[in-house]
Structure 1
Amino acid sequence: MKKMGLNDIRELFLSFYQSKDHYRQQSFPLIPEKDKSLLLINSGMAPLKPYFAGLETPPAKRMTTCQKCIRTGDIENVGFTSRHGTFFEMLGSFSFGDYFKKESLTWGWEFITEVLKMPTDKLWATVYEDDDDAYAIWRDTIGMPEDRIVRLGKDDNFWEIGTGPCGPCSEIYYDRGEKYGCDNPDCKPGCECDRYVEFWNHVFTQFNRDEEGNYSDLAHPNIDTGMGIERLACIMQDVESIFDIDTIKYILDGVVGVSGVKYESGAASTDVSIRIITDHLRSMTFMIGDSILPGNEGREYVLRRLIRRAARHGRMLGIEGPFLSALCDRVIDVSGKAYPELETRREMIKKVVAVEEEKFASTIDQGMKIINGYTDEMKTLGQNVLEGDKAFKLHDTYGFPIDLTREILEESGYTVDLEGFKRAMAQQKKRSQVEQEMEGAGWEEAAAGLSLEGETKFTGYTVMMQEATVKAILQDKEMLDSVQEGAVCRMVLDKTSFYAESGGQIYDTGIISNDDFTAEVMEVTKAQSVFVHKIKVIKGTVNKGDSVLCMPDVPSRNMISANHTATHLLHKALKDVLGDHIKQAGSSVTKDGLRFDFNHFQAMTKDEINKVEAIVNDKISRFIEVTTKVMPAEEAFKEGATALFGEKYGDTVRVVSIGNYSKEFCGGTHVSNIGQIGLFKILSESGVASGVRRIEAITGQGLLKKFNESEIVINQAAEALRSSRDNIVDKAISVSDEVKSLKKEINELKKAEMSKSLDNIIGNAKEINGIRLIMKQFDDYNINDLRDLSDQIKVNSKNTAMIFAAVADGKVTFLVSLTDDVVEKGFHAGKMIKEIAAAAGGGGGGKADMAQAGAKDPNKISAAFAKAEELL
């Protein structure tokens, strides 16, 4: 049997099934597109569920794939065994109601014996105990000896998950030889020993199981085969561990090279760490390649856990500084041809890993000290379970995923109170939720828990002036029949053209009136499907049941709509410039501007900001039509509409499209043509949370307002500099240079003055216990001046301690400087300054020969000097 590389095996498999008229599908992303039950794709057939279920039409009735997969359920075993890995590739061949058992098994046999040239006497097959058809195909069509065909029960050779499509399966095994076997003379597939390795499963989906456990025949049986390429590569390369396969060993050798630790392929702790890092490098590279970024929930948490777990094991190997980012190159080098997205996003992948590793490096030492403190405390108290709130502190403050904390503690024989951790986590979420609700509620009735039945019909997408009927009036937590002039209350209508604050868009303001009354609309909120208008009655009286006219402020609405449409353009432009990993993480749209939060791993460069701004303005200049359409959610997903991850959507959704450029789920108001936005300007880009960036921008009249404000500033600056507007920059540079020159001259004069008085300063020293103590206060000098002075004194002085105080802007800076012979006597400037500064209400520290500190009270400098004398 010829040894084959993993990349060669993949290509041979896919090409073989192409020759059998199978459509060759590129691997689906690791993020499930429509399956909310999965965090990550974990099998070859997972992305194909809609085809098997008949919900979607596949591109062909025959398909073959090599699917990238992530499984973290048994992550604790990774590195400790030869076969466990969080990332793996699954080769598969599929039939959607086309061919069935005979073709699947005979083609499979053809591939492994004629293409891979596996020796036939090493191959075994298992079938479901009642599947005579599969048994006959193996025996009569393929020619497998009956003593190498094993019938197994439902637990081994029948595939089903609850109700729905299911069926028997047939597995192919490779005999590794007697040395891997057991003492059982009847040893064969199904035995618990390591002799027989299952490497290919052919699932025959031919039944449907109902809720009562009955099985009925499917009208169109399917084929689903799956073969882990890593396990197959172990067989083809005659190695025992997936870490000895050519592509994975290349990555492992990189880890060994960086660590300088020899790899023995054994159970030593260093070997385990090397394997863990190797495996996790594959997972993190592929996950980031599919636009997953580190975070605290869901798949983002999985990625963060893997990166930080690998980084910790690097520390355990003695690797100093960041190292994972550079090793990602090795993963991309061996897999980039098969998965071109890795090559395309190489720099992004490395940057994300580097940023996350750097974040963890800044806290891991402190976190480990705390964990060690906890274990010492538990040891003293005779405990072996870490309290949940302490584990939560490690997670919340120091970025230690709970699984990593648990793993570290288990290495020392301790466990974690996971239920207590979950309670602490839930309490924090509840606190945050309450705070958000309190911030966003804005009306007393939410707290009072008043029940508002029915719904308000919103007509504001197409109508601005809307006649409506007053359904309810609320004031001071009570329902009223009427209110009069001067009252501030809440009003519920059967219909409204006022937009209620939601989806990041601010509420409309305006007027509600009739012949007898006029009210200013101050705020509009929404409780379920009821719109609640906060109003101030300007004149007259309004009664429950009255007819009124809703008149939103049209200019305000138009500016809000322009800003909202601009967020959609901005979202798409960010994807164009930064990559498909960009996801909206929040937004705020008002008439004055827009704020857009998004997931990204680093600050944007000036060039990136300029590119995004240019793209948005280019689109605006093309006057593209904006259309809205209400459609089934499933149809919207098929059309590629962008939805906010984690948001719940009903059966039907509203989709806002900007030509062919942008398509998003959105309930907000928008312009009808993006030319109405006018212009778009980014004001700032900043970080607001770990992995979350924020852009603030303005459009249209917002730019005019900003321009006018800038005009005022420029005019005031020109007047202050006594310059014309056109010459303001040159004048500012000239003044700045002059200021620098004057500062330099002043500093030189200060130094000259200090040098002149140097003898006088030394002459006024006190001698205490054989040490000369120099103490002096300086006004309008900085700490650097004091350092220079102490260095000059040290040149020709011995046995000297200097205590200087610089006073500037009402604040004090102390400097303690000791000559080397004073330090040798046991004095320590860093320790001394803590007590000296404390006497003046300050604190600080430093090295043995020099230290500095700040203090708040200049009136207590004499007390600080007295403390210095006391210390000597």
Structure 2
Amino acid sequence: MQKLGLNEIRERYLSFFESKDHLRMPSFPLVPQNDPSILLINAGMTPLKPYFTGKEVPPRKRVTTCQKCIRTPDIERVGKTARHGTFFEMLGNFSFGDYFKKEATAWAWEFITQDLKLPIDKLWVSIYLEDDEAFEIWTKEVGVPEDRIVRMGKEDNFWEHGTGPCGPCSEIYFDRGPEAGCDDPNCKVGCDCDRFVEFWNLVFTQFDKDDQGNYHPLPRPNIDTGMGLERLAAIMQGVGSLFEVDTVKNIMEHVSKVAGVRYKDSAKTDVSLRVITDHIRSTTFMVSDGILPSNEGRGYVLRRLLRRAARHGKLLGVEKPFLHDVAETVITESKEAYPELEEKREYIKKVIKVEEERFDETIDQGLNILNQYIGELKENNQKVLSGEKAFKLYDTYGFPVDLTIEILAEQNMEIDEDGFNKEMNEQRERARAARQDSDTAAWGGDAFSTLDQNVSTQFIGYFEFASISAVLAIVKDDKEVDKASEGEQVKIILDKTPFYGESGGQLGDIGTLESDTVKIKVLDCKKQGEGKYIHICEIESGEVKKGAELKAVIDLERRQSISRNHSATHLLQKALRNVLGEHVAQAGSLVTPERLRFDFSHYSGMTKEELEKVENEVNKVILDSIPVEAKEMSIEEAKKMGATALFGEKYGNIVRLVKMGDYSLELCGGCHINATSQVGTFKILSEGGVAAGVRRIEAVTGLEALKVYKENEQALNEVAAVLKSGAADVVKKAETVVSDLKAAQKEIESLRSKLASGAADDILSKTVEVKGVKVITARMDDLDMDGLRNMGDTLKDKLGSGVVVLATGKDGKVNFITTATKDVVGKGIHAGNIIREVAKTAGGGGGGRPDMAQAGGKDVSKIDQALSIVVELVEKQVND
């Protein structure tokens, strides 16, 4: 049997099926595309589901892939066994209504026996109990001996998931020999021991299961196969687990080198080595696909894996961040098959290192507190940590609850999960109450929730900016009323409205509602989930009644400014993805008439060059005057077109797609201009971090951008005037002024040094001697702290032996310094103790080393008094 490396096996497999007219497709990202049912891709066929269901047309009827996958249900078992892992690669060949069992089985057998040359006497095949067709094909056409085929039940060899396409499957096993098995004399294919390893599953999707449980033959059956690459590599390399496969082993050896431990030397350290090795593979690939650590969804999966690996590093004695370095080996081992790893190498390492450092800030404190809790439990012979304490660890110290559970389990302890969940729910209630008290929740009170559910508003404001609308409801002081009069603050629901209700980061419209008898100012408009648009109003004159017809008019100039900024956020997101990478995703936005704010996922500050590229790209698209179109369509159709959607956002069956030529496609319910040229111009004001992995750009467009340019121009002209220079020469003039200033400062320092030298000679003349120790004290209010220290060093050098205490009262601040030569320190002098007592006299404090100390004070008037006690202090310290 050949001993092939994992990377070679992958290439051989894909090349083999290419020779069978399969289209080789690259691995899909770990982030599911258009499949909200799962967080992460967990099987080779998962991203191909639209082709199997017929929702999308495959690029070819025969496809082969090597798909990166992550599964986390057994995360607690990773490390404890040699067979569990969260990251793996799945080889697959697929037929969408083309070939079926005959070809699938023949090619599988050809690949493993002729290409890989696996020994036939080590191979076994399982089939579904009732699948006689598969039995006939395997035995009579492929040539597998009948005694090498095992029939198994529905639980093992029939693939189905609820209703829909399903079918029997056939699995191929490798016999690792009796030495790898159990002691059961009846050990055979299907046993849970490690002897018979299932490595390839061929699924024959030939039925459609209905709601009544009936199976109907599919007119065009499909083939879906899956083979674990690491599992096959372990067989080919004759090793017992995925952690001994060449590419994975190389990662583990890197971890072992950092930790100073060897695999298989200790069962305890082996657990940590396996955890770190597996988890760094997962995290490297996840970050490469744009996932960032967070406390929700797939970001939480990433954070959990990273922090679990970091903790096991600490268990191995690794105190400094190291996972980002191990990621280098992950990238090196897999970059040929996944070139995006190499392209994003520095970014991947940065994300991992930042998260490691963040965890370092919390882990030690959390571990110390948890260890205290564990000690208390042991003292009281208890096994359960209270939910309150577990929640405090989580909420106050940022210590992950799953880590608390895992550490307790190592001590045969557990948390009170009911108590923990109760604390979590109470926190959510507090947060909900806080939101209810906020301005954004004030309009959603009980008065609206008790209205007839049929009361709703038709929004017509995309294309119409005024309407004649009927008043459906009036709410005053959170109670529904029939009428309201001048001076009253009310909330009004209309049957139709041109007013945009605040949502998606875009502010609501303002404007007026009026008739012959009433004039109402609309201060804001909010959108309630049930389709009600809440107009927040102030009645300026007259009286409004329920059922009245009013003319509704929005502030169009303000709306247009908002629309410019909203369209600019779409352009900005696309430009950011082009410049920084596909990992960029919207994390929040705010669109006002004056400016736009855009939050996005990225793990480091943008450089000046990157910001310039983004700004230039957006302005180029503006100048191209690309039409901006908005269309309603099904969610499936929009996703098929490649529309960008917000992760976690809930969309209905019908969505609104905003299209800016071929440049930008986004699902968006907001207001936009008709062509990119109407944005006018785009100017970035600032870029900065708002959270871990989240950056924020603030920018302006249109007239506001021109205003910024004018302000900058005015500032430039004012600086030029001050420097007595033309605007074009202001930089050169400023450089000359700065150079002259530096030269002048240098000359001033030189003169100060000469004056100080003269002053030093004068001060030295006032030296006193106490018990054989020379003492100098002086007040020098013209010096700052640096000058005071320099003078102290000068006097000490000139004095040769003794103590120097200096003070300054510059700018209302009191500062003291004390220096002492080594010989007098040997006589008992301690500069830190002297300065402490001196500073106390002036209302301050400080200290330092025996030979050098400094301190501050609060009362300038006490400086002379403070210096007067120095001789007495020295006298007390000198050894007799």
Report how many residues are paired: 871
In 1, Cα distance between equivalents of 2:223 and 2:865: 88
Partner of 1:566: 568
Partner AA of 2:323 in structure 1: L
Query: Does residue 605 of structure 1 match 2:604?
Result: no
CA 1:843–1:191 in structure 2 vs 1: closer, same or farther (change >3 Å)? farther
Partner of 1:349: 348
- Residue deviations 1:228-282 (CA, integer Å, cap 9, x gap): 11111111111122222222223333334444x2524354444443333322232
Which 10-residue stretch deviates more, 836-845 or 368-377? 836-845
- Residue deviations 1:14-39 (CA, integer Å, cap 9, x gap): 22223333332221111111222211
TM-score by length of 1: 0.89
Whether contact under 8 Å (1:595, 1:695) holds in the other structure is yes
Whether contact under 8 Å (2:626, 2:677) holds in the other structure is yes
How big is the alpha-carbon RMSD for the aligned residues of Structure 1 and Structure 2?
3.7
Residue 334 of structure 1 and its aligned partner are, at CA, apart by 2.5
CA 1:495–1:19 in structure 2 vs 1: closer, same or farther (change >3 Å)? same
Q: What does 1:202-351 correspond to in 2, within 5 Å? A: 202-210=202-210, 215-259=215-259, 261-319=260-318, 321-351=320-350
Whether contact under 8 Å (2:764, 2:799) holds in the other structure is no
Partner of 1:624: 626
Q: What does 1:802-817 correspond to in 2, within 5 Å? A: 806-812=808-814
CA 1:770–1:230 in structure 2 vs 1: closer, same or farther (change >3 Å)? farther
Partner AA of 2:145 in structure 1: P
Whether contact under 8 Å (1:775, 1:804) holds in the other structure is yes
CA 1:571–1:114 in structure 2 vs 1: closer, same or farther (change >3 Å)? same
In 2, Cα distance between equivalents of 1:267 and 1:787: 57
Partner of 1:135: 135
CA 1:358–1:803 in structure 2 vs 1: closer, same or farther (change >3 Å)? farther
In 1, Cα distance between equivalents of 2:124 and 2:441: 71
Whether contact under 8 Å (1:80, 1:267) holds in the other structure is no
In 2, Cα distance between equivalents of 1:387 and 1:834: 48
Structure 1: gaps of 5 or more residues? none
- Residue deviations 1:14-71 (CA, integer Å, cap 9, x gap): 2222333333222111111122221111111222233333433333333322111012
Which 10-residue stretch deviates more, 378-387 or 765-774? 765-774
Which 10-residue stretch deviates more, 444-453 or 468-477? 444-453
- Residue deviations 1:181-230 (CA, integer Å, cap 9, x gap): 33333321122332221111222334445556555544544332211111
Residue 844 of structure 1 and its aligned partner are, at CA, apart by 7.2
Q: Match of 1:520, SS?
A: strand
CA 1:221–1:372 in structure 2 vs 1: closer, same or farther (change >3 Å)? same
In 2, Cα distance between equivalents of 1:463 and 1:228: 58
In 1, Cα distance between equivalents of 2:390 and 2:294: 18
Partner of 1:542: 544
TM-score by length of 2: 0.89
Query: Does residue 126 of structure 1 match 2:123?
Result: no
Q: Match of 2:73, SS?
A: coil
Whether contact under 8 Å (1:160, 1:166) holds in the other structure is yes
Q: Match of 2:445, SS?
A: helix
CA 1:450–1:198 in structure 2 vs 1: closer, same or farther (change >3 Å)? closer
Q: What does 1:761-780 correspond to in 2, within 5 Å? A: 779=781
- Residue deviations 1:277-330 (CA, integer Å, cap 9, x gap): 322232122112211122222211222233333334444445564433343332
- Residue deviations 1:792-822 (CA, integer Å, cap 9, x gap): 4554779977776655554555656666678
In 2, Cα distance between equivalents of 1:24 and 1:81: 34
Whether contact under 8 Å (1:30, 1:40) holds in the other structure is yes
Percent identity for Structure 1 against Structure 2 = 53
Q: Match of 1:155, SS?
A: helix
- Residue deviations 1:482-506 (CA, integer Å, cap 9, x gap): 3344333332222221222211111
Residue 445 of structure 1 and its aligned partner are, at CA, apart by 6.1
Partner of 1:470: 471
Whether contact under 8 Å (2:125, 2:150) holds in the other structure is yes
Which 10-residue stretch deviates more, 813-822 or 121-130? 813-822
CA 1:713–1:622 in structure 2 vs 1: closer, same or farther (change >3 Å)? same
CA 1:377–1:713 in structure 2 vs 1: closer, same or farther (change >3 Å)? farther
Which 10-residue stretch deviates more, 306-315 or 427-436? 427-436
Which 10-residue stretch deviates more, 178-187 or 786-795? 786-795
Whether contact under 8 Å (1:445, 1:477) holds in the other structure is no
Whether contact under 8 Å (2:802, 2:821) holds in the other structure is yes
Residue 166 of structure 1 and its aligned partner are, at CA, apart by 3.4
Which 10-residue stretch deviates more, 365-374 or 650-659? 365-374
Query: Does residue 461 of structure 1 match 2:490?
Result: no
- Residue deviations 1:765-808 (CA, integer Å, cap 9, x gap): 99999998877665464333343344445547799777766555
Residue 734 of structure 1 and its aligned partner are, at CA, apart by 4.6
In 2, Cα distance between equivalents of 1:495 and 1:832: 82
Which 10-residue stretch deviates more, 772-781 or 216-225? 772-781
Structure 2: gaps of 5 or more residues? none
CA 1:215–1:562 in structure 2 vs 1: closer, same or farther (change >3 Å)? same
CA 1:863–1:125 in structure 2 vs 1: closer, same or farther (change >3 Å)? farther
Q: Match of 2:188, SS?
A: coil
Q: What does 1:10-409 correspond to in 2, within 5 Å? A: 10-210=10-210, 215-259=215-259, 261-319=260-318, 321-376=320-375, 378=377, 384-388=383-387, 390-392=389-391, 394-395=393-394, 400-409=399-408
Partner of 1:556: 558
Partner of 2:520: 519
In 2, Cα distance between equivalents of 1:828 and 1:165: 87
In 2, Cα distance between equivalents of 1:59 and 1:657: 25
Residue 88 of structure 1 and its aligned partner are, at CA, apart by 0.6
In 2, Cα distance between equivalents of 1:413 and 1:817: 59
In 2, Cα distance between equivalents of 1:387 and 1:765: 69
CA 1:731–1:95 in structure 2 vs 1: closer, same or farther (change >3 Å)? closer
Which 10-residue stretch deviates more, 659-668 or 850-859? 850-859
In 2, Cα distance between equivalents of 1:393 and 1:738: 60
Partner of 1:587: 589
In 2, Cα distance between equivalents of 1:79 and 1:845: 52
Partner of 1:487: 488
Which 10-residue stretch deviates more, 107-116 or 72-81? 72-81
In 1, Cα distance between equivalents of 2:682 and 2:759: 62
Partner AA of 1:522 in structure 2: L
In 1, Cα distance between equivalents of 2:843 and 2:376: 34
Q: Match of 2:14, SS?
A: helix
Which 10-residue stretch deviates more, 673-682 or 178-187? 178-187
Partner AA of 1:60 in structure 2: R
Q: Match of 1:504, SS?
A: coil
Residue 570 of structure 1 and its aligned partner are, at CA, apart by 0.4
Residue 148 of structure 1 and its aligned partner are, at CA, apart by 2.7
CA 1:697–1:128 in structure 2 vs 1: closer, same or farther (change >3 Å)? same
Partner of 2:663: 661
In 2, Cα distance between equivalents of 1:794 and 1:421: 64
